[in-house]
Chains A and B, each alone.
Chain A
Amino acid sequence: MTTTLQKTKLPPSQHEFSEVIHRLEAGGAMIPDTPENLMQIIGIWKAYAVPMDFYWRDLLYIGERVFLEPFPFFKYFLPQEYLDLHNHYAGDDADLRVWRGEATAHPELLEFMEKGETGKIPKLLHHLWHDRVNMEFAEACMRAMLWHRNMYAPVNQFDPYLDSDEYKANADKAIKAYFKGNPLMLGIHKLFPEMFLEQCRQASYYSNLGLFWEVMAPVFFEVSDLYDEGKITTVPEAMNFLVNGIFAIAGRPIYHHAYIRGECYEIIPKSKGFTWLYEAALPYVEAVFYRTAPFRGTKSYNAQANEVPSEQKDFHYGVLYADKFPVGTAGIPPTLLMQDMLHFLPPYLKEFYAQRCRGEDDVLNQIAVTFQRSMYCVTSAVFQALRTALLYPLDDTNPKHLKANRAFFEAQIDRFCRPEYGMRDAARLRNIQTADYR
């Protein structure tokens, strides 16, 4: 591992993760810059981006069309319209072209949807045989965002807006339109006005997460293509690609439009000024990378046992803390994602796994650990983006500014060192520093 102390103008950090702090101050990531790490994180981003291409399309489909359907049996059956939907950041007609590939659904995704692991059989049989994309994982991420309220407050205005009278009026209009001609549901709405309103809030979060991932999929596809072309050769380069992507698209609107009988209901209009960075990306990172919900298979929800924190800010069950070894066993939600990524691994990553640990037998665990490494790199990109936006350049000559940067990095790393509820033991920052964590 390279130390970059000579580049730091401040005296060395006294933090227990001083090596990581110095690496961040030198423009690096939390994960060490080795060719093996780079290969793993790029390969897994590619494998993640393909199911993500399904997730964002289906999230938007559910938020915009399925909406309040009381029996949404077919919500995972994407209509052609949403497979053809143009990603705003890929293809020739992109708002801002991030990926040079096509704007419609990814060819590998379409092939998997057609053939799956079993062969060419009707969609419904694929679904019943569970030979499909695990959309439940995307919904779990969405609910993590819905349940962890007030994240990144007060700058994040999305969450407070859901409680405003303006939102309630917009939602009420859409609810009444959706159930038009259905006296039973309209009667229920009248009796329990909060019920469908809360469902509507959930639909708004479907839209929020869908719009968030619409950006991440092309970013991951492009970084993978650049790696294949030999244009990305180090971990900091890969991370900086993400940082630039975050900035380029920071200002895209976050909204919720529902389409009911051909008419568009603007439940959260674009004119609210909600942005991708503040209302989707930062709350997403907090909800999914750090918090989520305790795994049913690793923690006891017993109130007397006091294992699960009483305050949501202390939740530490996100990807940065998750124990990846029980992946594939009962009560471990990330298994769903690992199973999804398994289908889209690039050849070099398949080869890498085949030679290690138990080869193909424990490939889901190996994928999970790689994924965790890669998400430490994504989180590093978020740190660097926040530092760029809110603090100072890394080569700033003013020592006061450099100190402010250091305090920011140290505060971020401190989140992995807190003793409460075994948080510091759960954090995998120490593990990912070495190659033999796999």
Chain B
Amino acid sequence: MADIVDIAVGAGSFNTLVAAVQAAGLVETLKSPGPFTVFAPNDEAFAKLPPGTIQTLLQNIPQLARILTYHVVAGKLTQADLATVDSVTSVEGSAIRIDCSDGFEVKNATVLAPDIEADNGVIHVIDTVILMG
């Protein structure tokens, strides 16, 4: 099996995410044993952000890293694990609302593909970039 980064690179639909993770210098972290749960926005999710948002973040790496670490939770949490909780605390420090009552929703994003297993954790693909607050 491959780690979280390799799976994202291999999938081909996470080009923006992978570029952002590389720019923010988080590759090594996400290749470490972890384990992590990553809510991974696909390319369409990033494309929904208004123009300029990504450009400003790419110019400011610590700020970009903060947004990205909001998408990561410590520990390996599958959909079944998440169904038992209302919220989880991200690596960034803020809470992420979880709603499994009707489908599988993370904050205001819907999970498109849950439980993609990796060596060092699990990936849930989401359709919207989630933000703190």
A residues sitting closer than 8 Å to B (CB atoms) are: 95-96, 152, 154-155, 157, 243-244, 247-253, 270-275, 278, 282, 386, 388-392, 400-401
Contact = CB atoms under 8 A, between A and B. Distances in A.
A390 B133 contact: yes
Given A96-B56, A270-B62, 14 more contacts: A96-B55, A155-B132, A244-B51, A247-B49, A247-B52, A248-B53, A248-B56, A251-B60, A252-B60, A271-B62, A388-B50, A389-B131, A390-B133, A392-B108
A247 B62 CA distance: 17
Contacts, number: 70
Nearest to B99: A400
Interface stretch (B36-44, B63-71, B72-80, B112-120): B63-71
Nearest to A405: B108
Contacts of B55: 96, 248
B31 interface: no
A249 B56 contact: yes
Contact of A391 (B53, B64, B108): B108
The 7 closest A-B pairs by CB, nearest first: A248-B52, A273-B66, A273-B62, A247-B50, A251-B57, A251-B63, A251-B56
Contacts of B59: 95-96
Contacts of B66: 273, 275
Nearest to B52: A248
Nearest to B50: A247
Contacts of B67: 251
A278 B132 contact: yes
A250 B133 contact: no
Nearest to A275: B63
A390 B131 contact: yes
A282 B65 CA distance: 20
Contacts of B133: 152, 155, 278, 282, 386, 389-390
Contacts of A392: 108
A243 B52 contact: no
B12 interface: no
Contacts of B49: 247
A390 B130 CA distance: 7
B94 interface: yes
A27 to B, nearest CB: 14
